[in-house]
């Protein structure tokens, strides 16, 4: 058969072409048709062929109208599988615009909580993290119509079966269930009994199939029969002989066998211990070791890049990972550091796999000494050991700080350094509070201090020059006002001397007394004499 014969949507077919799935596998040919018909299924399945359950799941999302909220719930015990499945959902569902949320035990909790609240159409989750979010925030999953259990055999560890059952309390209705498992162990059996109704069974033998179809005796009736049988045997044995306890103790000591008088109490203790180990293993990162050198540098405003560069220059022999909050920041840092010739590569969220592998390989091989990580959690950077982790941006989650600390080796030079600005103070205070012991403050690099000092001196010079300029301007304005003042008083004396008038010029010294213009025909003085001469 071909995917077209399954009646898949054009958008999903395009997505399958993008991830290079061209023809259905034999198992897909068996599983997809009954899954699309809404059948409950128990399938023997090994990891690798994830299309066997993702194809029918995504097809349901493309055909069931405009129902909002989480409609497909995929539960898996493995942290790595959460990431793998989430990426495949994104690739296959890209053209159908199907989004998903990954809830792994090593993810950032606040982002995962928001994804549940927003109602991501597909949720891929570790049971421990999902039930924690549902219980803490009293959330429900009312629109789920398909539940997929991936690697059901792995649910046997850490009491995950009971967590799956608890999750179902927050799911409304009776959704279709598909269980995929490599083996038919106790966990698979319990999940099948709890979730499946009249299932189609593929890959397991007839005996195991009949167990799922209800032909076996119920577990309660089996237990009753065993109790009756045990009671009968005990009665018979009591009648036949009297127990010699001393002899029993001697033989047990010789055989080095320990006797459990109350097996029920032992089972409860083992279950409690398993839950504790599960909580420690899955939910929280390892505590930050006290011998890890934690440090921070208090960075003044507009000095973070120069502080980073000065710090890197003193540690170029180490393998260093620098975490930043965004791709934009790492791009800027990459351009600056590359000009220094220090050997740097950058990775970030959304980077194509081929580029990611190439850059990451250059760092792990030692060809490049500095790795810039933008917008990614430390859980997504698979490093065994680095000599130094630098928080260019302090994480706002204590768990993320611990995950970054896990990347650091245990050598004497190993440490995690945070560049703390005024905006980061609250975050670093919260980290110190949760971790339990404070990082050591490192001094601001000498060259940054000097640059900062020159900056202050330069500012003082500028202010002084500006003050002098303003003072000179005021003096000039005052002088201009003084110079303009006499011009306004045109008829007043200047420097104590009388301003001559036209009439005064006509009469010489005696002209002062002639305040009236002379009458025609009577001209006195030089002008009169000249006039008479021409006449």
Worst-scoring range by mean pLDDT, 270-284, 418-432, 467-481?
270-284
Same domain, 304 and 200: no
Rg (CA), the chain: 44
Same domain, 311 and 207: no
In a domain, 139, yes or no: yes
Same domain, 26 and 116: yes
Same domain, 208 and 297: no
Between 407 and 114, the higher pLDDT residue: 114
**533-to-184, 522, 528, 530 alpha-carbon distances in Å:** 149, 14, 9, 5
Sign of CA dihedral 358, 360, 361, 365: positive
3 state SS of 231:
helix
Structural domain span for residue 420: 293-449
Same domain, 49 and 192: yes
Q: What is the pLDDT of residues 158-190, one digit of tens each?
A: 678 999 999 999 998 889 999 999 988 999 999
| Longest Cα–Cα distance in the chain | 183
Buried b (16+ CB within 10 A) or exposed e, 424-440: beebbeebbeebeeebe
Same domain, 33 and 152: yes
Whether the predicted pLDDT of 239 surpasses 90 = no
Query: Residue 96 in contact with residue 60, Cβ under 8 Å?
Result: no
**What CATH number corresponds to the domain at position 100?**
3.40.50.300
Q: To 10 degrees, the CA torsion angle through 431, 415, 369, 353? A: -40
Whether the predicted pLDDT of 440 surpasses 60 = yes
Among residues 423, 449, 475, the one where a domain terminates is 449
CB atoms within 10 A of CB 470: 10
Same domain, 315 and 204: no
Q: Which CB contacts under 8 angstroms, 24+ apart, belong to 78-87? A: 78/126, 78/151, 78/154, 79/104, 79/105, 79/106, 79/126, 79/282, 79/379, 81/47, 81/150, 81/151, 82/107, 82/124, 82/125, 82/126, 83/380, 84/50, 85/50, 85/54, 85/124, 85/150, 86/124
**214-to-176, 197, 209, 219, 222 alpha-carbon distances in Å:** 18, 10, 9, 11, 14
In a domain, 22, yes or no: yes
Same domain, 312 and 190: no
- Residue 436 Rama label (left phi>0; alpha psi -120 to 50; beta): left
Cα 29 from Cα 392, distance rounded (Å): 51
Give the DSSP letter of residue 143: T
pLDDT band at 267 (very low <50, low <70, confident <90, very high): low
Q: According to the per-residue pLDDT averaged within each range, which of 47-51, 293-297, 391-395, 405-409 is highest?
A: 391-395
- Residue 366 Rama label (left phi>0; alpha psi -120 to 50; beta): left
Between 413 and 17, the higher pLDDT residue: 17
Q: At what angle do helices 51-63 and 26-36 cross, to 10 degrees?
A: 30
**291-to-200, 408, 439 alpha-carbon distances in Å:** 55, 12, 11
- CA-nearest of 109, 130, 135, 106 to 380 is 106
Mean pLDDT rounded to a whole number for the chain: 76
Tokens of 93: 């569902």
- CA-nearest of 56, 187, 174 to 122 is 56
In a domain, 224, yes or no: no
Sign of CA dihedral 465, 467, 473, 475: negative
pLDDT band at 402 (very low <50, low <70, confident <90, very high): confident
Q: Please list, in sequence order, all residues whose beta carbon lies within 8 angstroms of the beta carbon of residue 531, skipping any fewer than 6 positions away.
A: 523
Same domain, 171 and 304: no
388 φ, ψ (degrees, to nearest 5): -155, 135
In a domain, 531, yes or no: no
Cα 393 from Cα 326, distance rounded (Å): 9
pLDDT given for residue 386 in this prediction: 81
DSSP, residue by residue, 149-169: ESSGGGGGGGGHHHHHHHHHT
Tokens of 322: 């620098």
CB atoms within 10 A of CB 205: 10
Query: Residue 85 in contact with residue 51, Cβ under 8 Å?
Result: no
In a domain, 535, yes or no: no
Among residues 416, 431, 449, the one where a domain terminates is 449
3 φ, ψ (degrees, to nearest 5): -65, -30
In a domain, 272, yes or no: no
Q: What is the mean pLDDT of residues 474-492?
A: 55
In a domain, 233, yes or no: no
Among residues 212, 246, 280, the one where a domain terminates is 212
Same domain, 332 and 183: no
Cα 1 from Cα 3, distance rounded (Å): 7
In a domain, 482, yes or no: no
Same domain, 327 and 200: no
Token pair 């000097």: residue: 450
Q: Please list, in sequence order, all residues whose beta carbon lies within 8 angstroms of the beta carbon of residue 107, skipping any fewer than 6 positions away.
A: 82, 129, 377, 379
Whether the predicted pLDDT of 531 surpasses 90 = no
Cα 505 from Cα 507, distance rounded (Å): 6
Q: Please list, in sequence order, all residues whose beta carbon lies within 8 angstroms of the beta carbon of residue 507, skipping any fewer than 6 positions away.
A: 513, 514, 524, 525
Same domain, 314 and 444: yes
Q: What is the pLDDT of residues 326-384, one digit of tens each?
A: 888 898 899 899 888 889 999 988 888 888 888 998 998 888 989 999 988 888 888 77
Number of domains in the chain: 2
Alpha helix segments (H runs only) across 393-445 = 398-406, 425-435
């Amino acid at each position: 058969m071909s995917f077209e014969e399954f009646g898949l949507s054009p958008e999903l077919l395009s997505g399958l072409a993008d991830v290079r799935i061209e023809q259905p596998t034999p198992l897909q040919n068996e599983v997809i048709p009954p899954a699309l018909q809404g059948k409950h299924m128990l399938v023997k399945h090994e990891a690798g062929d994830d299309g066997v359950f993702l194809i029918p799941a995504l097809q349901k999302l493309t055909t069931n109208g405009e129902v909002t909220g989480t409609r497909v719930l995929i539960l898996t015990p493995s942290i790595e599988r959460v990431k793998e499945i989430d990426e495949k959902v994104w690739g296959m569902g890209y053209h159908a615009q199907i989004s998903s949320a990954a809830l792994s035990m090593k993810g950032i909790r606040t982002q995962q909580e928001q994804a549940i609240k927003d109602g991501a159409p597909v949720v891929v989750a570790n049971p421990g993290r999902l039930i924690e979010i549902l219980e803490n925030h009293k959330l429900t999953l009312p629109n789920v119509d398909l539940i997929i259990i991936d690697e059901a055999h792995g649910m046997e560890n850490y009491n995950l079966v009971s967590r799956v059952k608890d999750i179902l309390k927050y799911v409304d209705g009776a959704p279709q269930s598909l269980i995929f498992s490599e083996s038919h162990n106790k966990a698979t059996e319990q999940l099948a009994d709890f979730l499946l109704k009249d299932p189609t069974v593929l890959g397991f033998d007839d005996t195991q199939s009949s167990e799922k179809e209800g032909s076996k005796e119920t577990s309660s009736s089996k237990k009753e029969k065993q109790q009756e049988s045990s009671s009968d045997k005990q009665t018979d044995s009591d009648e036949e002989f009297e127990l010699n306890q001393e002899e029993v103790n001697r033989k047990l000591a010789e055989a080095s066998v320990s006797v459990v008088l109350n097996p029920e109490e032992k089972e409860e203790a083992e279950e409690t211990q398993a839950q504790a180990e599960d909580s420690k293993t899955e939910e929280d990162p390892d505590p930050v070791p006290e011998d890890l050198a934690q440090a921070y540098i208090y960075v003044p405003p507009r000095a973070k890049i120069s502080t980073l560069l000065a710090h890197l220059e003193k540690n170029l022999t180490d393998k260093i990972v620098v975490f930043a909050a965004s791709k934009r920041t790492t791009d800027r840092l990459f351009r600056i550091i590359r000009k220094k010739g220090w050997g740097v590569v950058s990775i970030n969220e959304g980077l194509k796999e081929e580029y990611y592998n190439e850059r990451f390989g250059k760092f792990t091989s030692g060809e490049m000494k500095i790795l810039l990580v933008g917008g990614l959690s430390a859980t997504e950077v698979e490093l065994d050991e680095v000599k130094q982790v630098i928080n260019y941006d302090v994480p706002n989650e204590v768990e993320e700080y611990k995950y970054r600390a896990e990347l650091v080796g245990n050598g004497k030079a190993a440490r995690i350094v945070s560049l703390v600005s005024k905006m980061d103070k609250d975050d670093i205070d919260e980290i110190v509070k949760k971790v339990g012991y404070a990082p050591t403050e490192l001094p601001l690099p000498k060259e940054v201090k000097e640059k900062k000092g020159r900056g202050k001196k330069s500012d003082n010079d500028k202010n002084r020059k500006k003050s002098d300029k303003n003072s000179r301007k005021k003096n000039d304005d005052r002088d201009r006002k003084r110079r303009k003042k006499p011009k306004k008083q045109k008829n007043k004396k200047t420097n104590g001397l009388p301003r001559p008038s036209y009439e005064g010029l006509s009469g010489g010294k005696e002209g002062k007394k002639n305040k009236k213009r002379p009458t025609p025909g009577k001209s006195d003085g030089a002008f009169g004499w000249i006039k008479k001469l021409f006449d």
